[in-house]
Structure 1
């Protein structure tokens, strides 16, 4: 009866591929709207181009990346010591509050994005940058 667990795995994999179960990198936001949110909320300090740092590091490939690892950017000790990965959950938590609360000692000056729809849209957009 070893085939039953295998069938269960196939069924679960099918649900993921079919979109019935959420991937940890997918939100219900609108990436196009998130691009607009990025332009108004983030683009002054961040770029979405790989290797293009501004006041802040490039956000290209941020979802799934270890914090503090963009080359040629000098991070705060606070962020380097955080040792987290930028998952959609971590981005949601971090961006929904003032940066100084999310990571005390950070260099980032941001008051947080409190509009839940805009936050989901932004994080969905960031998830497309790879």
Structure 2
């Protein structure tokens, strides 16, 4: 189950007296930052134009996969035509090989 699905389920189960959405939002941001540092930051920057092994993630939403100059991509990802949005990113992070067949699992 994805983090987003867990949070939605927790919010629904908590009911009207459960934690506020502001608290859930703060917790989600903190957890996302921790996950990014642990799993993504070695290869990706959040600063525009500062690609590392992988592309900078600034401005990712709506961008076609595999087009950032200077970043390394598998031919499968470069040729996929995939456009990043919440759904495609979640699917790719959950299972890169299923989302884009031929992609190495990183």
Paired with 1:47 and 1:105, the residues of 2 have a C-alpha distance of 24
Q: Give the superposed CA RMSD.
A: 2.0
Is 1:100 aligned with 2:85?
A: no
Is 1:86 aligned with 2:77?
A: no
Structure 1, unaligned runs of 5 or more: 1-27, 111-130
Once the two structures are TM-superposed, the CA of residue 73 in structure 1 deviates from its matched residue by 2.0
Paired with 2:75 and 2:88, the residues of 1 have a C-alpha distance of 18
Structure 2, unaligned runs of 5 or more: 1-23
Which aligned runs of 4 or more in structure 1 are off by greater than 3 angstroms? none
Q: Secondary structure at the match of 1:82?
A: coil
Say whether the 8 Å CA contact 1:46–1:54 is kept in structure 2: yes
Question: Which deviates the most, 65-74 or 87-96?
Answer: 65-74
Say whether the 8 Å CA contact 2:62–2:83 is kept in structure 1: yes
Residue of structure 2 in register with 1:39 after alignment:
37
TM-score between both structures, scaled by the size of structure 1: 0.54
How many residues are paired up?
Answer: 81
Say whether the 8 Å CA contact 1:67–1:83 is kept in structure 2: yes
**Larger RCO: 1 or 2 (CA < 8 Å, sep 6+):** 1
Say whether the 8 Å CA contact 2:92–2:99 is kept in structure 1: yes
Paired with 1:88 and 1:75, the residues of 2 have a C-alpha distance of 20
Once the two structures are TM-superposed, the CA of residue 72 in structure 1 deviates from its matched residue by 2.2
